[in-house]
Every structure is written in C-alpha cells, then in structure tokens.
Structure 1
Amino acid sequence: MKTFFRSILVLLTIILVSQHMNAQSLKDYQWKNRLVVVFTDTISNPSYREQLEILNKETPQFEERKLQLILAVPGKYREIFPSTSGWVPDPELYKYRKMASEDFEVLLIGLDGGVKLRQASPFTTKRLFSTIDSMPMRQADIRKQGRR
C-alpha cells in the first residue's frame, strides 16, 4: 500500500513540474527577445499562411530588433525564426490568446513580456516594425548603434 501511495505522489510531482515548466515557455524569452506569436487553430489557415509570407520577406530586420517568430496551435508551439524547432507541448500558451472566437490571432510581445500589439488579422511589417521602433528600449538600441 505504501508503494502505491509513493507511486501516486511521484506521478503527481512529475505532472506538476512539467506543467510549471510549460507555463514558463514565454518567460524564457523575457528580456532577451521580442516575440511575434502567431496563434492558429490549424496551419492550413489562410491568415496564418499570409502572415508567414509577409514576415518571411523581412527576416533580415528581425535580428536587429531581437525578434523571434513562434507558431502556436492548440496544445503545442514551435519556433519558426531565427531557426525552426520541433513542436514543444505547451497547453498553457493559449492563455495569452484573448480573442477566443477567432481562429487566427497574432501578438507582439515586448522584451518585458507584455503584449504590445494584438490583432485577428495579419500584421504588416510596417506596423510591426514601427511599433517596435517606437519602444524606449529599441530607441536606446538605435542610439547606441548610431554612436558606433
């Protein structure tokens, strides 16, 4: 009987730790990268495909702005830029998605972890980059680059 309860306790601990680790997924990027997170119910969504096409044309400007592109579908996510990763299970990532009635949403998350831009249609790079370039930390980076 003791062995049974120990097994249950170990199993519960593993579940709780893995859920905590998954919930931390976006926090891992905080203060290191800005994120563009594309939420879609399915990767065949036309808005998702349009968003990737728009962003893929401008990837050279991503590095300069410390941007990473993440695709999130129900229950998992993957990095698309700067490199492509495999799918990572993460049931918590969808909590960032507030427009639950939409089948597509894209967010810009700042270095501080706050949502800076959110919409249910693809971002234009002009809007995305102008939003980032108006941020105080980005302005400081631009000033530093100008002094070199």
Structure 2
Amino acid sequence: MRHVFGILAVLSLPFGASAGLAQEASATPELPIVDSAEVALEDFLWTKRPIVVFADAAADPRFVEQMRFLEADVEELLLRDVVILTDTDPKAKSALRKKLRPRGFMLALIDKDGGIKLRKPAPWTVREITRSIDKWPTRQQEIRVELGKE
C-alpha cells in the first residue's frame, strides 16, 4: 500500500508543477495598447518608446500579423518601455496620422526623445524590433545604467 502512495506522489509532481506554470503563464503582463486618437506622442516623452502600427482597417492581414508578433513576446517589449499605439481609421485623420503620413500599413518606431527612428511598410517580429531599439543611444545608456557602468 505504501508503494502505491509513493508512486502516486511521484506521478502527481509533474502535474502540480505544470499547474503552477499554467498560473504563471496566465499572470503574464499585458502589452499596453492604446488607440492613437486618445494620445499624443508628447505624452510619452522620456518615459516610453511608442511603436505605432497603422493600417487602413483592423482586418488588414499585415496589421493582424503585426499585432500577433507584438503579443508573442510582451516581456521583451516591456523591458524596453514600449507602448503600442494603433490607428486603423484613416478617415479620422488623427494627429499621429498627420505627422507620420502612412500609406496603408506602416510600423513606426519612436524613441523616448520623440525621434522617429524607423518606418517599415511590413510587419516586424519582436526580435527585429528589440534589436533595433537596443542600438539606439538612449537604450545603450539604459543598459549601461542597468549594468552599473554609469
């Protein structure tokens, strides 16, 4: 009898561990996604790095793919203080649309200093985005501070 309970205890370990992992996965932080009509780029100066995703409709396959890419690795984006701004209504003529002038789908990466660092006409993965961000002088300074070298 003792042997049976021992086997059950051993068999239940992986299931208990996987239940704990499932709870951790559900506690994954959410990516801040904001409609661009509700904000101005100046709202994020020196605090966040806006990534602006434009499309002529929310159903645009490139927009859908880009949003899926962004949601696939939230932690890496949050580590770099990213906020996602979306604009899928060209008729609304938002301030961001007037400033950045997209034609159809466009991905724009903006640094904390408000500088437009990159514009792309096609979706980018989080890996491509974070590699680009990590080369920016403001991010390089943050990395040095994090490492205690400054």
Match in the other structure for 1:126: 127
Cα offset for 1:24?
Answer: 6.9
Aligned residues: 113
For 1:94-133, list aligned pairs within 5 A. 94-100=97-103, 103-133=104-134
Deviations 1:32-84 (A, max 9, x none): 110110001110000001001111111101221010011112269xxxxxxxx
Q: Which runs of 5+ in 1 are unaligned?
A: 1-21, 77-88
Aligned partner letter, 1:69: I
Quick check: 1:48 aligned with 2:63? Answer: yes
Cα offset for 1:126?
Answer: 2.2
CA contact (8 A) 1:75 1:92 kept: no
Match in the other structure for 1:58: 73
Match in the other structure for 1:18: none
TM-score when scaled to structure 1?
Answer: 0.68
Q: Please give the root-mean-square deviation of Cα atoms over the aligned residues, in Å.
A: 2.4
Provide the secondary structure at the position in 2 that maps to 1:147: coil
Q: Which runs of 5+ in 2 are unaligned?
A: 1-36
TM-score when scaled to structure 2?
Answer: 0.67
Distance 2:106 2:90 in 1: 15
The structure carrying a bigger helix percent of its residues is 2
For 1:1-148, list aligned pairs within 5 A. 25-74=40-89, 91-100=94-103, 103-147=104-148
Deviations 1:105-135 (A, max 9, x none): 1100111111111011001222211111011
Cα offset for 1:23?
Answer: 9.9
Aligned partner letter, 2:72: K
Cα offset for 1:147?
Answer: 2.2
CA contact (8 A) 1:23 1:93 kept: no
Distance 1:138 1:36 in 2: 15
Distance 1:23 1:66 in 2: 19
Query: Once the two structures are aligned, what percentage of the paired residues are identical?
Result: 30
Match in the other structure for 2:8: none
Provide the secondary structure at the position in 1 that maps to 2:144: helix
Find runs of 4+ consecutive structure 1 residues off by over 4 angstroms: none
Structure-2 change in CA distance of 1:75 and 1:92 (3 Å): farther
